[in-house]
Amino acid sequence: MKKILVIGASGQIGTDLTVELRKQFGAENVIASDIKNACEDVMQGGSFEILDVMDRKKISEIIDKYNITEIYHLAAILSGNAEKNPKWAWDINMDSLFNILELSREKKIQKIFWPSSMGAFGISTPAVNTPQLTIMEPSTVYGISKLAGERWCEYYHHKYGLDIRSLRYPGLISWKTEAGGGTTDYAVEIFYEAIRSGNYECFLSEDIALPMMYMDDAVKATIMLMEAPAEKIKVRSSYNLGGISFTPKEIENEIKKYIPELKVSYKPDFRQAIAESWPRSISDEAAQKDWGWKHEYGLPKMVQVMIENIGKRKC
Ligand SMILES: NC(=O)c1ccc[n+]([C@@H]2O[C@H](COP(=O)([O-])OP(=O)(O)OC[C@H]3O[C@@H](n4cnc5c(N)ncnc54)[C@H](O)[C@@H]3O)[C@@H](O)[C@H]2O)c1
């Protein structure tokens, strides 16, 4: 019997992923957890535990309490927030991963998901159609923690046989929660501000293209990866996930088809340098070949769905 623990379930990905996991595997089989309460859909859709991923003893108790067989570890400090307090971010991102790796070994957890990010690439990485295997010299604390995490995941797989799987998510766009302090947050904030005030000041320049993905595609990829037979998972560090690629100006123009009065100004801050060190577009050929990945949402469809749903937000 599959019993899933989602850690970081109140965040941008956790909210959508928890709802979908419960739909697919049964509400009683998916335990959500976070250091803060989640939105209504997650809180009322099944069991929820307040859990600090730095507290190994409490994680251990929850694994035993619910007979957990799979863990999705989503709790992390994202790129923008991490740069404000690098050592704190490093400690949380790395120690939390070690807690999960060690407890999974000890308690024989069958499968673990831990996300990496396109932030694991750096300025010396080929920026266009970035391949799976390439130069990786991240210059942010977030990127360094993701690259180190990837290496540890592969190590625990080879050394201890842990079935840990990972995706390098691009920037994710969703409407259920606000974004969590990353460099691609502008592509979520612009929708809220378009509807709230009709004005948005973007913290990146108008012409910087970044790889992005609509949340439904990201959730689908995550569950597809986790449900694929183990022999199909050839990459044990982290799979590239490409999605779509667009600039702030391109999304502004697409939103203006629905909200013509939207006014966007561009005032790049410290996150511009982070964005410049990341790829412009990513190749996910390995994911396509190994476990049949294909994204569905392009820019126009994603914008249409965001505009239709953003008013329905409950948290
Ligand atoms: N959102 C993106 O665009 C994106 C892109 C690439 C990778 N990722 C990765 O995906 C994962 C989830 O990202 P997200 O966007 O949902 O982030 P988020 O910030 O929205 O959510 C993270 C959640 O973790 C929780 N958390 C923080 N510290 C915790 C702790 N000590 N114990 C328990 N919970 C804690 C937070 O309360 C929050 O609800 C992260 O590993 C992130 O690096 C996200």
* Candidate from 34, 85, 118, 186 with most ligand 1 atoms within 8 A of CB, to mutate: 34
Are 161 and 199 in a shared domain? Answer: no
CA of 73 to the centre of ligand 1 (A): 9
Are 179 and 139 in a shared domain? Answer: no
In the set 66, 72, 142, 169, the catalytic residue is 142
pLDDT at 313: 72
CA of 170 to the centre of ligand 1 (A): 14
At 60-75, the pLDDT tens digits run 999 999 999 999 999 9
Q: Does 48 sit in the ligand 1 pocket, CB within 6 Å? A: no
The residue among 111, 11, 5, 92 whose CA lies nearest residue 48 is 5
For residue 301, give every residue at least 6 positions away whose Cβ sits within 8 Å of its Cβ, in sequence order, or none. Answer: 214
Q: Looking at the predicted structure, is the pLDDT value of residue 315 above 80?
A: no
Q: Looking at the predicted structure, is the pLDDT value of residue 314 above 70?
A: no
Q: From atom 35 of ligand 1, which residue's Cα is the shortest distance away?
A: 75
pLDDT at 252: 98
**Structural domain tally of the chain?**
2
Q: Looking at the predicted structure, is the pLDDT value of residue 238 above 80?
A: yes
Query: Residues 119, 144: contact at Cβ < 8 Å?
Result: no
Would you say residue 135 lies in a domain?
yes
Q: Looking at the predicted structure, is the pLDDT value of residue 235 above 80?
A: yes
> What is the number of the ligand 1 atom nearest to the C-alpha of 15?
16
For residue 281, give every residue at least 6 positions away whose Cβ sits within 8 Å of its Cβ, in sequence order, or none. Answer: 127, 128, 129, 130, 209, 211, 242, 245
At 142-193, the pLDDT tens digits run 999 999 999 999 999 999 999 999 999 999 999 998 887 899 999 999 999 9
Are 58 and 196 in a shared domain? Answer: no
Indicate the SS3 state at residue 170: coil
Would you say residue 291 lies in a domain?
no
Based on the residue annotation, tell me whether 142 is a catalytic residue of this protein: yes
Q: Taking each helix axis from N to C terminus, what angle separates 56-66 and 86-106, rounded to the nearest 10 degrees?
A: 40
For residue 21, give every residue at least 6 positions away whose Cβ sits within 8 Å of its Cβ, in sequence order, or none. Answer: 4, 6, 30, 72, 223
Which CATH number belongs to the domain containing residue 252 in this structure? 3.90.25
> What is the number of the ligand 1 atom nearest to the C-alpha of 38?
39
At 95-112, the pLDDT tens digits run 999 999 999 999 999 999
Would you say residue 13 lies in a domain?
yes
Note if the pTM is more than 0.95: yes
> What is the number of the ligand 1 atom nearest to the C-alpha of 79?
43
E-strand stretches of 29-188:
30-34, 48-50, 70-73, 111-113, 116-117, 164-165, 167-169, 171-173
* Candidate from 12, 141, 168 with most ligand 1 atoms within 8 A of CB, to mutate: 12
CA of 257 to the centre of ligand 1 (A): 31
Would you say residue 292 lies in a domain?
no
At 111-153, the pLDDT tens digits run 999 999 999 999 999 999 999 999 999 999 999 999 999 999 9
Distance between CA 149 and CA 146 in Å, rounded? 5
CA of 126 to the centre of ligand 1 (A): 27
At 15-66, the pLDDT tens digits run 999 999 999 999 999 999 999 999 999 999 999 999 999 999 999 999 999 9
Domain that holds residue 182: 175-211+244-279+298-312
Would you say residue 29 lies in a domain?
yes
